[in-house]
Amino acid sequence: AGLDEVLAKKYFRQIVEAILYCHRLHVVHRDLKPENVVFFNKLGIVKLTDFGFSNVFAPGKKLETSCGSLAYSAPEILLGDS
């Protein structure tokens, strides 16, 4: 059955807002994947978890190390492109 569209949009918006909040604080999660999103259905909210690979970044400075889950890596990371 899955989620209805209205609820899916609500949860997706919360995930995007959480990422934006982290980025405003100059924090990158570096391991975003479904397993690191926890749903609290009774409260109607989601939370990002597992910040073990997270890092503070300086705007304009590239993070050099690769980490996270290989299955969710961007193609350019897998191909070694910058």
Residues labelled as active-site residues: 31
- Tell me, what amino acid is at 47? K
Looking from the CA of 18 toward its CB, the CA atoms found within 13 Å total 17
